[in-house]
Amino acid sequence: MALTIEQELLKAVSKRRNFAIISHPDAGKTTLTEKLLLYGGAIHEAGAVKARGEQRKVTSDWMEMEKQRGISITSTVLQFAYSNYQINLLDTPGHQDFSEDTYRTLAAADNAVMLIDAAKGLEPQTRKLFEVCKLRSLPIFTFVNKMDRPGREPLELLDEIEQELGLKTFAVNYPVGMGDYFKGVYSRRQKAYHLFDRVAHGKGEVPEIVIPHGDSTIENYLDGDLYEQTLEELELLEEVASDFDLEAIHAGKMTPVFFGSAMTNFGVRLFLDAFLEYALPPTPRNSTLGELEPTYPDFSGFVFKLQANMDARHRDRVAFVRVCTGKFEKDMSVNHARTGKTIRLSRPQKLFAQGRESIEEAYPGDVIGLNNPGMFAIGDTIYLGKKIEYDKIPSFSPELFAYLKNPNPSKFKQFQKGVQELQEEGAVQIMYSKDDFIRDPILAAVGQLQFEVVQHRLLNEYNVDSRLEPMPYGAARWVVDGWEALEKVGRLFNTMVVKDAFDRPVLLFKNDWNINQVKADHPDLRLSAIAL
């Protein structure tokens, strides 16, 4: 008997899990991604995603700038099947200058994996990205990596997460030893030790030995001291730690913690198995029709990222759409909420690392790539049936500001077009001075490289020169109650008033001290580091 559309959607949704990884550079995101793909059978030998040495220069980059610098600017979506599930890993750029992309990718994710280097604990980029996850109450899974190297005490790391992020922790597994003595983990779910054999650079899956708690054969594998110490720590953990609470995990209030070593594959499978059991399936999304369940029968989704020139041979622009409801089918004609136009989605793509393959259908939780040049801006909704618009994707306070000058007045039109398109694409935030006589756009970025990308692309894609004039500001705050509220407070000191791309008032400050001063002088003026 054929399934109804609701039944079909329910089945697809129950089998889908989607997540993004948040971490500080060098914690091992590329390595973990590779190992997840290895266990998911999407690649057969680790090293396929991150080509090493010479090969890396040849294969990994799509844009000239990336080649020159050996960094990865773009994010892609990796879909793989594992243990009866379809997993969508929303990859994010490794370089922190492009964290605006990561913020937006988190808007499309249903779960986050927080990757921590065992020797370093929480690092600045991880904390920043955690705040974005918290805003959306995303369930957060913690993977403490590099246990094969000397690191900090596991209990101390758990405590740091609890104290500094205000998240309860539940260690799903606990390490046996560390550094050269790292032997594996104790699974608190299975009440068993998983001991591993080391494999050089973890190219293949690692063999493991499973020994139930209380089985004396453990003594053949662990020396007495290490075993005793592990038992003691586990006892202590049982005493002080919170009980497992799946509801709290789903609400983003408790994080399941896993210890392992992505490089040697220790703990990767245990992590994947538990993740699939605890992670949220594609979640309902807020829209102008209220919260829409993924099983809502009409297709809808939103654009969370635009990317130009993925394929150097075609000057194209791919819109990444997170499917939220209904079923997507190739060649479908959909409505575009912002413009009211109808668009035929004729070349949809599934994205896997650098390769692209065409897709026939997609379900909620999936991400599709659309090639409709110029049609889309970040946050756009596409839909069938009743008109829907999803909540805007928030912008976060930029930290660098500069006037972008056009030294060539005859090229005014191309300059404007380039700036406008790069803003819609989300390459950078654009603001303007409140005074109409200063027409130069203000580029507002999280990292210096964003400026360079904008200038590089203006030159290469729009054939216009530009000049940057840095501004002495380090933070922006949106005025929550709009222009009227701002007028009421009168003159403000040590701040510049600008407007964003949507004509909303924004204040630029040199530093936090200036922000606090304005807040103290004008307690009624509501300021926000996030524009919703």
Q: Of 153 and 245, which has the nearer Cβ to ligand G4P?
A: 153
**Among 23, 76, 169, 187, contact with ligand G4P (rule: CB under 6 A):** 23
Phi, psi dihedrals of residue 531, rounded to the nearest 5°: -100, 120
Kindly indicate which of the ranges 19-27, 81-89, 216-224, 423-431 contains the residues binding ligand G4P, using the contact rule CB under 6 A: 19-27
Q: Of 153 and 228, which has the nearer Cβ to ligand G4P?
A: 153
60 sits near ligand G4P (criterion: CB under 6 A): no
Annotated binding-site residues for GTP read 23-30, 91-95, 145-148
255 sits near ligand G4P (criterion: CB under 6 A): no
The least CB distance from residue 36 to ligand G4P, in Å, is 12
74 sits near ligand G4P (criterion: CB under 6 A): no
371 sits near ligand G4P (criterion: CB under 6 A): no
Annotated binding-site residues read 23-30, 91-95, 145-148
- Could you give the CA distance from residue 380 to residue 338 in angstroms, rounded to a whole number? 7
**Among 12, 13, 20, 27, contact with ligand G4P (rule: CB under 6 A):** 27
**Among 16, 17, 29, 477, contact with ligand G4P (rule: CB under 6 A):** 29
- Could you give the CA distance from residue 133 to residue 131 in angstroms, rounded to a whole number? 5
Q: Of 29 and 269, which has the nearer Cβ to ligand G4P?
A: 29
- Could you give the CA distance from residue 194 to residue 213 in angstroms, rounded to a whole number? 10
The least CB distance from residue 60 to ligand G4P, in Å, is 11
**Among 31, 255, 325, 406, contact with ligand G4P (rule: CB under 6 A):** 31
Q: Which of 375, 466, 324, 309 is nearest to 9 (CA)?
A: 324
- Could you give the CA distance from residue 526 to residue 332 in angstroms, rounded to a whole number? 44
The least CB distance from residue 308 to ligand G4P, in Å, is 23
Beta bridge partners of 487: none
Q: Which of 166, 75, 165, 157 is nearest to 128 (CA)?
A: 165
Token pair of 66, please?
């990336």
Kindly indicate which of the ranges 63-71, 186-194, 217-225, 258-266 contains the residues binding ligand G4P, using the contact rule CB under 6 A: 258-266
DSSP three-state, residue 466: coil
The least CB distance from residue 31 to ligand G4P, in Å, is 3
Beta bridge partners of 211: 193
Question: Contacts with ligand G4P in 131-160 (CB under 6 A)?
Answer: 145-146, 148-149
127 sits near ligand G4P (criterion: CB under 6 A): no
261 sits near ligand G4P (criterion: CB under 6 A): yes
26 sits near ligand G4P (criterion: CB under 6 A): yes
Q: Which residues of 436-461 are buried (b: 16+ CB within 10 A; e: fewer)?
A: eeeebbbbbbbbebbbebbbbbbeeb
Q: Of 101 and 500, which has the nearer Cβ to ligand G4P?
A: 101
Kindly indicate which of the ranges 21-29, 183-191, 271-279, 509-517 contains the residues binding ligand G4P, using the contact rule CB under 6 A: 21-29
**Among 17, 18, 20, 30, contact with ligand G4P (rule: CB under 6 A):** 30
Q: CB of 219 within 8 A of CB of 159?
A: no
54 sits near ligand G4P (criterion: CB under 6 A): no
183 sits near ligand G4P (criterion: CB under 6 A): no
Q: Is 108 exposed, middle or buried (0-12, 13-18, 19+ CB in 10 A)?
A: buried
**Among 132, 262, 268, 464, contact with ligand G4P (rule: CB under 6 A):** 262
Query: 3-state SS of 97-161?
Result: HHHHHHHHHHHHCCEEEEEEECCCECCHHHHHHHHHHHHCCCCEEEEEECCCCCCCCHHHHHHHH
Q: Is 344 exposed, middle or buried (0-12, 13-18, 19+ CB in 10 A)?
A: exposed
Backbone φ/ψ region at 431: left (φ over 0), alpha (ψ -120 to 50), beta: beta
- Could you give the CA distance from residue 21 to residue 32 in angstroms, rounded to a whole number? 9
Residues that bind ligand G4P (CB under 6 A): 23, 25-31, 52, 94, 145-146, 148-149, 261-263
